[in-house]
Amino acid sequence: MLFNSFDFFFFLPIVFILYWFVAYKSIKFQNIILLIASYVFYGWWDWRFLSLIALSTLIDYTAGLKIHESKDSSTKKKWLWLSIIFNLGMLGFFKYYNFFIDSWIDLCASLGYAVESSWTLQVILPVGISFYTFQTLSYSIDIYKGKLKPTSNFIAFATFVSFFPQLVAGPIERATNLIPQFLTTRKFTYKTFSYGIKLMIWGFFLKLVVADRAAIYVNAVYNNIDNHDGLSFIAATVLFAFQIYGDFAGYSLIAIGTSKLFGFDLMTNFKRPYFSASVSEFWTRWHISLSTWFRDYLYIPLGGNRVKKPRWLFNLFITFLISGLWHGANWTFVVWGGLNGVYLILEVLFLKKKRKGILNIGITFILINFAWIFFRANTINDAFFIIKRICTVPGRLYIGSGDDITASLYATLAIAILVVIETKKEFFNTAFSISNNKYESVRLFGYAVLIYMILYFGVFGKSQFIYFQF
Partner 1 sequence: MVKKEYKLSLIKLGKFLLIFLIVDFGLGIVSKQLFFSQETGKYARSIQAVKNTNAQVLIFGSSHAHRHYVPEVFEKNLNKTTYNAGAEGQQLLYHLAMQQMIVKRVKPEIIILNIDEDFLYYSKEAYDRLSDLHPYYSDYRQELRPILGLESKLVDVKLFFNAYQTNSTIMHVLRYFASPQLDYLGYRPLFGKIEKHSSIINETNKEQDLDDNFVNALYQFIATAIDNDIKLVFVTSPRLNQVDDVNNVSFNKIKNIAKEKEIPLINYFNHKEFTNKLELFHDPSHLNDTGARLFSRDVALKIVK
Q: Give the residue among 266, 86, 75 at the shortest CA–CA distance from 164.
A: 266
In a 10 Å sphere around its CB, with 0-12 CB exposed, 13-18 middle and 19+ buried, how is residue 191 labelled?
A: exposed
Smallest gap, in angstroms, from Cβ of residue 221 to partner 1?
19
327 is catalytic: yes
Helix (H, G, I), strand (E, B) or coil at 171: coil
Q: CB nearer to partner 1: give 26 or 152.
A: 26
Binding mask 356-395 for partner 1 (x = CB under 8 A): ----------------------------------------
Smallest gap, in angstroms, from Cβ of residue 409 to partner 1?
5
Distance CA 375, CA 467 (A): 12
Angle at 392 between CA 389 and CA 393, to 5 degrees: 65
Binding mask 9-48 for partner 1 (x = CB under 8 A): -----------x---x------------------------
Q: CB nearer to partner 1: give 220 or 373.
A: 220
Q: Is 351 in the site for partner 1 (CB under 8 A)?
A: no
DSSP letter assigned to residue 382? H
Q: CB nearer to partner 1: give 203 or 324.
A: 203
DSSP letter assigned to residue 287? S
Cβ-based neighbours of 60, under 8 Å, separated by 6 or more: 83, 87, 136, 137, 139, 140, 157, 161
Choosing from 117, 120, 406, 436, the residue that interacts with partner 1 (CB under 8 A) is: 406
Q: CB nearer to partner 1: give 273 or 458.
A: 458
Q: Is 89 in the site for partner 1 (CB under 8 A)?
A: no
Q: Which range touches partner 1 (CB under 8 A), out of 75-83, 88-96, 304-312, 402-410? A: 402-410
Q: Is 240 in the site for partner 1 (CB under 8 A)?
A: no
Given 3-state DSSP classes, what are the helix, strand and coil percentages for the chain, each rounded to the nearest 5?
A: 75, 0, 25
Q: Is 187 in the site for partner 1 (CB under 8 A)?
A: yes
Q: Is 441 in the site for partner 1 (CB under 8 A)?
A: yes
Q: Which residues of 106-130 are buried (b: 16+ CB within 10 A; e: fewer)?
A: eeeeeeeeeeeeeeeeeeebbbbbb
Give the footprint of partner 1 on this chain (CB under 8 A): 6, 20, 24, 187-190, 193-194, 402, 405-406, 409-410, 440-441, 444-445, 447-449, 451-453, 455-461
Would you name the residues annotated as active-site residues?
A: 327
